[in-house]
Structure 1
Amino acid sequence: MPSVRGGLLGPARVRTPRSVPPGLEERAAIRLPRSASTNAELREKSRERILAAALEVFAEKGYEAASISDVTERAGVSRGLVTYYFPGKTRLAAELLDRWLDGIAGIIELPGTADERLAGIIDGALMAAASTLPIQRLAISLMMQPGTHPVFAEVEAAKSARLSQVEDAIRSIFAARGAPDPTVEEMLLRATLEGITVKMAIYPSTFPLEAIRHRLYAGYALPTPTTPLPIHSPPPDRLRAH
């Protein structure tokens, strides 16, 4: 659960037919009279295509090395369309971070007892760490690099009220479990899950996520999970990047 202040967008590569210049379809769509709902749907599809392309490009090249031209080419749209929706590379990153933080917030919206909710948070964070590596890596990068940390701080500030609800929800779980200091417990859980996410981003093929999951359950005196998470998880050995 990288930073409290996470499936997002799958790879989306849309190729414009060779006989149609890039951006022509979008310009035609703007010229033709359409209903408000149809126009809204087209705008949303264009935004999603651009965001999916941006996530791919940022993951492959890194945020600093990537350019709007790279995103434009990957999305198969005109540069003008990209800058219309996202006037600058930082706005693309901010939108991706915004959705990532929404994903974190969604993890705690679980029913059940305090133990069931805690187990759900652990599983949700581990699943996010394993299944959304591109956005996890982007978020970690933006948080830690001096040149991009302000982008992360801006998005985090905009989400402050929602993220405070997340913190309070986790603290209420620990309070219900009888923890003497729910605030410290919430911070410790968050730091633990953040560390796991970083390790997964670096060592996705060798990190023993299922074994770590069992250890977390035991550490919080939760019932041993009977069903493994539907993700690749090698047995514990040595962490090596590939």
Structure 2
Amino acid sequence: MSPRSASVNEELRRRSRERLLQATVELIDERGYEATTLADIACRAGAARGLVSYYFPGKRQLLQSAVHRLMHMELAAALEREPVSQDGRERLARAIDAVLGLARDRPRLMRTHMAGILQSEGFIQCPEQQRLAALLRDTVERYGSADPETDYRLLRALMMGAVVAILLPGAPMPAERLRSELFQRYGLDWRLGRPPGAQPPPPGV
């Protein structure tokens, strides 16, 4: 039996890493961060426990990469949803809706993710985060930004702030109100993207 080629080995490594990332999202969404062990993640992914440590230095880093992968997948799906649009305003609206939708639909996962970023490990520059960043830069560039790098960072900060506001224990803000504020900030028509209602919420709601 001939040895596998380098390209085959690389593909196998990629698939193993993606299975670990998917298992992380599933288990932390189901059980929470503290109740999920690296052994649990390896078992769900059908991988050896040592493989987790081979790819990731710890559980927090694994979680950040897993959520960034999920965000990238959700954003890519939103941007390419039929009817596909090349209009920068429509694509920015879809990007905002995709991120706020994750906070609304997967609060445990996203709350855990944001808590990890605000702890000592901080924001991790992983391949999944870089792919997400590339999509957001492309979005602000199509929107018409003259400085996509700076405007991408501002958009990222504004959306992270909105996610925290949606998930804030004891004092959450409605996703619709935050969407309305972001749309006003970027001059977007409420009907773009996937509006949660026919009209934006009235002021103060």
TM over 0.5: yes
Q: Structure 2: state its 5+ residue gaps.
A: 1-15
Query: What does residue 91 of structure 2 align with?
Result: 117
Q: Spell out the pairing of 1:18-57 with structure 2 (5 A cutoff).
A: 52-57=26-31
- 1:193 is paired with a residue of what secondary structure? helix
Letter in 1 for 2:137: D
In 1, distance between residues paired with 2:112 and 2:36? 15
Say which of 39, 62, 67 aligns to 1:100: 67
Query: What does residue 134 of structure 1 align with?
Result: 108
CA RMSD of aligned residues (A): 4.0
In 2, distance between residues paired with 1:203 and 1:229? 23
Letter in 1 for 2:71: I
Greater length-normalized contact order (CA 8 Å, ≥ 6 residues apart)? 1
Letter in 2 for 1:194: M
Q: CA 1:229–1:205 in structure 2 vs 1: closer, same or farther (change >3 Å)?
A: farther
Q: CA 1:181–1:52 in structure 2 vs 1: closer, same or farther (change >3 Å)?
A: closer
The answer on whether the counterparts of 1:208 and 1:236 sit within 8 Å (CA) in structure 2 is no
Query: What does residue 135 of structure 2 align with?
Result: 166
The answer on whether the counterparts of 1:217 and 1:224 sit within 8 Å (CA) in structure 2 is yes
Deviations 1:152-196 (A, max 9, x none): 52xx23346524522431232232xxx443333322221111101
Query: What does residue 207 of structure 1 align with?
Result: 173
Deviations 1:85-135 (A, max 9, x none): 535996444343223112332315433111110111111111012112122
In 1, distance between residues paired with 2:53 and 2:28? 13
Q: CA 1:200–1:191 in structure 2 vs 1: closer, same or farther (change >3 Å)?
A: same
In 2, distance between residues paired with 1:192 and 1:202? 15
Say which of 147, 153, 160 aligns to 1:194: 160
- Number of aligned residue pairs: 173
Deviations 1:62-102 (A, max 9, x none): xxxx5739x75xx9x7xxx8735535996444343223112
Q: Following TM superposition, by how much is the alpha carbon of 1:204 offset from its aligned partner in structure 2, in angstroms?
A: 7.8
Query: What does residue 224 of structure 1 align with?
Result: 190
Larger radius of gyration: 1
Q: Structure 1: state its 5+ residue gaps.
A: 1-42
Q: CA 1:221–1:164 in structure 2 vs 1: closer, same or farther (change >3 Å)?
A: closer
Q: CA 1:184–1:125 in structure 2 vs 1: closer, same or farther (change >3 Å)?
A: same
In 2, distance between residues paired with 1:104 and 1:67? 21
The answer on whether the counterparts of 1:171 and 1:182 sit within 8 Å (CA) in structure 2 is yes
The answer on whether the counterparts of 2:27 and 2:36 sit within 8 Å (CA) in structure 1 is no
Q: Following TM superposition, by how much is the alpha carbon of 1:200 offset from its aligned partner in structure 2, in angstroms?
A: 1.5
Deviations 1:140-159 (A, max 9, x none): 1221211x43xx52xx2334
Q: Following TM superposition, by how much is the alpha carbon of 1:55 offset from its aligned partner in structure 2, in angstroms?
A: 4.5
Deviations 1:206-239 (A, max 9, x none): 4121122123223322222286439xxx98769x
